[in-house]
Amino acid sequence: MSDPGLPSPGFYDEIGGHAAFVRLVDVFYDGVASDEVLRPMYPEEDLGPAKERLTMFLEQYWGGPTTYSQQRGHPRLRMRHLPFHVNPDARDRWIAHMRTAVDALELSPLHEATLWDYLQRAAHAMVNTFEPTPKES
């Protein structure tokens, strides 16, 4: 019996495999690159490493290659995000950029709803503070 909380094994392939996840992440990070709240959360000058990590994570979660776990171990998403100031504003900005990215994939309604439900739940789970975003000095 499969867990109804997990995606079906074919989801990865059904939405287009690696190319679909690369597109999703590329469009998402196009928005993050110019976002004054989210961009400072990425210490690398180039967003390339972050893009690669998110692509690998999402591919693995949705039934693709297990490269993420092979290279980085267990995802531990909350723990990995604890060093960052993830408040409701940051979450909402993340969701907005991800909405643009999901829309760019032009998925079937069922695939879109399945993916979007997960992404929204994940974004809400990453909130670790309700303090306002610190101002740059």
**In contact, 107 and 15? CB cutoff 8 Å:** yes
pLDDT one-digit tens code per residue, 8-66: 569 999 999 999 999 999 999 999 999 999 999 888 788 999 999 999 999 999 999 99
- What does the chain come to in residues? 137
Encoded tokens for 122: 């994940």
Encoded tokens for 131: 């303090």
DSSP letter at 132? Answer: P
pLDDT one-digit tens code per residue, 50-83: 999 999 999 999 999 998 888 777 667 666 666 6
Is residue 7 predicted with pLDDT exceeding 60? no
> Three-state SS for 136?
coil
Encoded tokens for 33: 């690159």
Amino acid at 104: A
